Each structure stands twice: as structure tokens, then as C-alpha cells.
Amino acid sequence: MPLKAILKSDTVQKVACCLGAQYIRLVHATGSWQVVGDETIRKLRREGQPFIVSIWHGRILMMPYTWLRGEQIHMLISQHRDGQLIAKVISYFGIDTVTGSTSKGGASALRGMLKTLKRGECVGITPDGPRGPRMRASDGIISVARMAGVPIFPATYSVARGRVLGSWDRFLVAAPFSRGVFVWGEPLHVDRNANADAMEAARIELEERMNAITRDADERVGRTPVTAAPVVTEVSSA
């Protein structure tokens, strides 16, 4: 059997995802972790209030432990094969998924997220996924927050020991026995009556807040901060 066929087999993928989940558990169990800025989200969950958690694609490895233990969350996962592998890994932590993205499969994903939030449960979104540009927020998450009438909470993590991959998202792979930190940012509220300009301002504000807490997390553990992808500006022809 060709190697590609073997790697695509359900059995191999199931084993790989199980090992991935066990690795995440190992990293968390052997590490020394600090949590910063989670007071507001804990208060909201005690009150049964839903919200959106916003995490950069490159910082999703430890996402199961960024979230509150015992609380339900639904993660927006792309229809791409890589996204489905991520879905299988996080399922070992009791995290459900909504399939789609804020672009592809957007209509069904949007309906799923709005229903979830209406039930009083939270949703997690990587606003630069599934393909980037790195650490640049798309406007989809802003639309969901506006339509659902819920706040967005930026979240991230960093570790002293680990490796930043050369992938488009500069994915951070945490190492076991490391010092780590989870950082939550202040909530971003989007008015239900926001026009296009207000929504763009909210998108930029979210992006800046997420990059600020990611930089803060990296600096807290002595890691060189990862920078966002350059902003691509369109040049109009004369």
C-alpha cells in the first residue's frame, strides 16, 4: 500500500490523533502553568452567559487547557483534512466542533454557532484560520459576535520550552516539563447595529488585542514574540 494511502487510513489517523491528545496531556501535566486574566470569563460562566473565545491558529495546541474545566465549548473547525484531524484530537478532551469556517462552509457554520450561543454555550474561533494570513483577524468572527450579541474574549498561551514551526501560522509546539502561561484579554463588544465601518474598527481592535496578549504571553516566559504577517495593501493602478 502506498505511503499516502496508509497515512490517510482511518486507523492510522485515529492512532495519530490519540497520541496527539496524550502528548498535550503530558505537556500540561509536567509543566508549571500560570493563568492570567480569567476572572471575567469565570464570572460570566457562573452566570450562564455565553461568549466567543478567539485564539490564533498558531496557539491552539494547548487550547483544551486554556478553556475552563467542566465547561462545554464548541470549536469552529475547517472542512479541510487538517481541520478534521484537529477535531479528532480535541474530541478526546470533550470539546465539540462546528464544521466550516468564517468563509468556506460559512452559512452552515454560522447557523451552528448562533444556535450554540443561543443555548448559552460558548464557541471558539481561530480568526486567522484555516490558511492565514498569520495573526490577522478575518471579519467573520465580528459578524458572529454582532448577530449573537455576545462578547469576544481573546486568549492565548506560551511556554518557555518549545519550538515554533516554520508553518504559515508559526505553530508553537510546547515541550514537556516547561513553564507556561495562559493569558486572557479584555472582552470586545460589537454593537448589533454596527455598520461596515464600525465592524472593521472592531476587527482591527480584536487583532490588536490578540497580538498584544500573545506578545505578553511570550514575554512572560522569556520567548521571542512571534510577529504577525505583513499587511498586504492593494495598489490601485493609475
Give the tens place of pLDDT for each residue, 25-66. 999 999 999 999 999 999 999 999 999 999 999 999 999 999
What whole-number distance in Å separates Cα of residue 91 and Cα of residue 34? 24
Q: Would you state the cell numbers that stand for residue 176, as one nine-digit string? A: 514537556
Report the distance separating Cα 23 and Cα 89, nearest Å.
10
Low-confidence ranges of the chain (pLDDT < 70): 1-8, 101-105, 233-238
Q: Which domains does the chain have, with CATH numbers?
A: 3-220 (3.40.1130.10)
Distance, CA of 207 to CA of 135 (rounded, Å): 7
The mean of the pLDDT values for the chain is 91
Kindly list the distances between the CA atom of residue 43 and the CA atoms of 68, 114, 197, in Å, as whole numbers in the listed order. 11, 22, 31
Strands 122-125 vs 96-99: parallel, antiparallel or unpaired = unpaired
Assigned C-alpha cell, 51: 461568549
Neighbours of 229 (CB within 10 A): 14
The tens digit of pLDDT for each residue in 195-220 reads 999 999 999 999 999 999 999 999 99
19 C-beta neighbours (distance < 10 Å), count: 11
